[in-house]
Amino acid sequence: MIIFWAYISAIGLISIGIYGLLMKRHAFKLIISLGLISTGVNLLLISIGYIIGGTAPIYPKNLNISAPMVDPLPQALVLTAIVIETAILAAALSLAILMHREYGTLDVRVIWRRLR
Amino acid sequence: MTIDPILLLEIVLTIIMIISAIIAVETKHLVAALAMLGLVSLQASVYFLILQAPDVAMTEASIGAGLSVGIFAYAFWKTGETEEKLENLEEMDKGVLIK
Amino acid sequence: MIIRRIFAALFAIFFFISAYVLIADIGFGNNKMDDLVGKYYIENTIKDTTALNVVSTVVVNYRGLDTLGEVTVLFVASVSVGVLMARFKGSKLWNVSTTPIHITAGRILFPLIWIFGAYIFVHRHLTPGGWFPGGAVIASGVLLLMLAFKDYLPSSKLITFSESISGSLYVLVGLIGLAIGGYFLYDFVYRTYGIGTIGTLISGGFIPIVYTIIGVKDGVELSGILHHLSRDDTE
């Protein structure tokens, strides 16, 4: 099996984020795991569109390209994904602050028991 | 033996990224976890530059390592929590702690 | 507890191995551009608009409606932060100890930071950048002011006013394109009037106009989020 370092780091980040989402109980830890998963997914998307020996998709001023350009479509997709991840993070943190005000604790299992 | 320097950089970045992600999930100090999240974002930004994507590298560096850490720090300040103190669930079930 | 931890670790490892085996079949770095859409975008950017940055053309011209949706999502998140934080109406900010170093540095650095942020999103069609890093740099300039001077808060009315004006301007540009060309967000600056030469600042169709509008909107929005989060709990 050949080792591609880009794929290993991206999928490794996603699986560590999934482990954190399953195991942890503190609300801020869950939000940090969400951020890890988002970063891993963005890395995976861009490393699929890479060509060995390619250059960045920007034309120089005299319009001479010396090497093939990498795929510009995943980069536009990842720009949108980073913006939406920031919006999710801000809204989730506001919800966590409000939860702390209502119940006095940030432990999700304690709050679940109190709701029943 | 000639080692390609870009490959060496990729290996070092991968190892540091995985180690800091494990620390970010496992530690009890929340401020340390936040610093590790910023470190992962910074490594990912350098990795984007190796994969020839300068727009995405600039966006990820300024958001993940700049504004995201700032918003998290605001949330830490408002709730006053800097360590992960969890309640003991077995004692609560037996009725020892009355809340 | 131990059983749960073992199951979670096994699940994470299983996910890692299966995903890696499935993706390594694709290969890394193969030249597969001959049957992908990206090839059309790379070849026709200079002809359709005179911008030099391919990713900016994809975001504004070829996939312009996705950018409108993304701006809407950011707007909804900013509104939700404002609604959720509405019960903190206090006017007492945090106690930071400001020294003369902070005040002097804040006064000198703040216009430079704003000029740098504006440079990032105005020159989008020539150099890498984008509207989101430009807006984030502008918001961090406002954060520097909030840290340096104790009683400074960006005024809430100005933030909401400029945010709504910028959002409406973007839809207005799209509607003007609809009136002139025939579909929403038609590039009316380059296609009908032919303004712009390759490689200068005035080029790339209506890309600088759109990026300036969205960059200003985003900088103001992120400052609004910081402003809502920084109030203290005195009701």
- Tally C-beta pairs within 8 A across B and C: 42
At B20 the pLDDT is: 95
Q: CA–CA separation, C217 vs C215, rounded Å?
A: 5
Number of domains forming the structure of chain B:
1
Which residue in chain B has the smallest CA separation from C29? B51
| Model pTM above 0.80 | yes
Report if residue B34 sits inside a domain: yes
Answer whether A56's CB lies under 8 Å from C129's CB: no
Q: A16 falls in which pLDDT band (50, 70, 90)?
A: very high
Task: Write out the two tokens for B78.
Answer: 């408002």
Which residue in chain B has the smallest CA separation from C55? B55
Q: Is the pLDDT of residue B99 over 70?
A: no
Check A75 against C55: CB less than 8 A apart.
yes
Q: CA–CA separation, C120 vs C219, rounded Å?
A: 12
Q: How far is A1 from chain B (nearest CA, A)?
A: 17
Answer whether C224's CB lies under 8 Å from C158's CB: no
Q: A17 falls in which pLDDT band (50, 70, 90)?
A: very high
- Adjacent-strand bridge partners of B71: none
Q: CA–CA separation, A32 vs A13, rounded Å?
A: 12
Report if residue B61 sits inside a domain: yes
List the alpha helices (DSSP H) in C25-99: 38-48, 54-57, 64-84
Which residue in chain C has the smallest CA separation from B75? C229
* C145 has a chain B CB within 8 A of its CB: no
List the alpha helices (DSSP H) in A24-107: 27-48, 73-103
Task: Give which of C17, C58, C65, C75 to mutate to test A binding, by max A Cβ within 10 Å.
Answer: C58
Report if residue B99 sits inside a domain: no
At C235 the pLDDT is: 46
pLDDT one-digit tens code per residue, C133-167: 998 999 888 888 888 887 777 788 888 888 888 88
Q: How far is A54 from chain B (nearest CA, A)?
A: 8
What is residue A58's three-state secondary structure? strand
At B89 the pLDDT is: 64
Report if residue B51 sits inside a domain: yes
Q: Among residues of chain A, what percentage have pLDDT more than 90?
A: 49
* A49 has a chain C CB within 8 A of its CB: yes
**Per-residue DSSP letters for C6-46?**
HHHHHHHHHHHHHHHHHHHTT-SS---GGGSTHHHHHHHHH
Task: Say which of B13, B48, B86 has its CB closest to residue A25.
Answer: B86
Check C33 against A51: CB less than 8 A apart.
yes
Q: How far is B25 from chain A (nearest CA, A)?
A: 6
Answer whether A84's CB lies under 8 Å from C70's CB: yes
Check A71 against C38: CB less than 8 A apart.
yes
Residues in chain C: 235
Q: Residue B92 region, left (φ>0) first, then alpha (ψ -120 to 50), else beta?
A: alpha
Closest CA to C159 of C179, C178, C135: C135
Check A97 against C85: CB less than 8 A apart.
yes
Range of B89's domain? 5-94
* Out of A70-74, B84-88, C54-58, C142-146, least confident range: B84-88
Q: How far is A85 from chain C (nearest CA, A)?
A: 10
Report if residue B46 sits inside a domain: yes
Say what the alpha-carbon torsion angle A45, A49, A51, A54 is, to the nearest 10 degrees.
-100
| Average of per-residue pLDDT across A17-31 | 92
* HSE value, Cβ hemisphere, 13 Å, CA-based, for C118: 6
Using a CB-CB cut-off of 8 Å, the residues of chain A touching C21 are 1
At A112 the pLDDT is: 85
Which segments in chain C show pLDDT lower than 50?
235
Tokens 């970010």 map to which residue? Answer: B24
pLDDT one-digit tens code per residue, B58-70: 999 999 988 899 8
Q: What domains lie within chain A, and their CATH numbers?
A: 5-54+68-115 (1.10.287.3510)
At B63 the pLDDT is: 92
Q: B91 falls in which pLDDT band (50, 70, 90)?
A: low
**Per-residue DSSP letters for A90-111?**
HHHHHHHHHHHHHHS--BHHHH
